[in-house]
Amino acid sequence: MYMFGYYFALARTRLMETKGMSAALILALGLGIGASMTMLTVVRTMTWDPLPGRSEHLYHPFIDALPTSYDVRPGMDPRVALTWVDAQNLLRQAPASHQTALASARLLVDAQRSVQIPFFTQGQYVTADAFAMFGIPMAQGRAWTREDDAAHARVVVLGQDLAARLGSEGLVGATVRLGGQAFRVVGVAGPWSPRPRFYTDLQQDVFKGREDFFIPIGVAAEMQMAVSSSVFSWSSDKPLNRLQDARTSWVQFWAELPDAASVEQYERFMGNYARTQHQAGRFDRTTAPRMVSLKDFLVEHRIIPNEVKLQLALCLGFLIVCLLNMSALIFARFIRRSHEISVRRALGARRQDVIYQLCTEALIIGGLGGAVGLIVAEAGLYLVRMQPEDYASLANMDLSMAALTVGLACVSSVIAAFFPALRATSGRLAMQIKASE
Q: Which of 284, 300, 316 is the last residue of a domain?
A: 300
- Say whether pTM exceeds 0.85: no
The amino acid at residue 430 is A
Does residue 429 register a pLDDT over 50? no
Domain boundary among 256, 278, 300: 300
Q: Which residues does 2 contact at the CB level (< 8 Å), separation at least 6?
A: none
Which pLDDT belongs to residue 397?
Answer: 83
Q: Is the pLDDT of residue 318 over 60?
A: yes
Cβ atoms of 133 and 146 closer than 8 Å: no
What is the per-residue pLDDT across 7-49, written as a single tens digit (0 to 9) for each? 666 667 777 777 787 888 888 888 888 888 888 888 777 777 8
Which of 285, 300, 315 is where one domain is finished? 300
**402 in the same domain as 315:** yes
**Same structural domain, 295 and 335:** no
244 and 156 both lie in a single domain? yes
In this structure, the answer to whether residues 134 and 191 fall within a common structural domain is yes
- The model's confidence at residue 340, banded by pLDDT at 50, 70 and 90, is low
Q: Are residues 37 and 65 in the same domain?
A: no
**Do residue 344 and residue 410 come from a single domain?**
yes
Which amino acid, 240?
A: L
* Helical packing angle, 2-17 and 19-46, nearest 10°: 110
Based on the domain organization, do 244 and 337 belong to the same domain? no
Residue 85, domain extent: 55-300
> How far is Cα 72 from Cα 52, in angstroms, rounded to an integer?
34
Q: Are residues 74 and 173 in the same domain?
A: yes
| pLDDT for res 316 | 81
Are 86 and 21 in the same domain?
no
321 and 257 in one domain? Answer: no
Of 59, 1, 19, 220, whose CA–CA distance to 127 is shortest? 220
- Examine the domain organization and report whether 62 and 41 are in the same domain: no
Closest Cα partner for 269 from 285, 243, 290? Answer: 290
Question: Crossing angle, helix 19-46 and helix 351-385, to 10 degrees?
Answer: 50
pLDDT at 69 over 90: no
Please count the structural domains in the chain: 2
Mean pLDDT, range 324-339, rounded to an integer:
72
Q: How far, in Å, CA of 230 to CA of 222, rounded? A: 18
Q: Give the pLDDT mean for 312-328.
A: 80
Same domain? 79 vs 224 = yes
Cα radius of gyration (the chain): 31
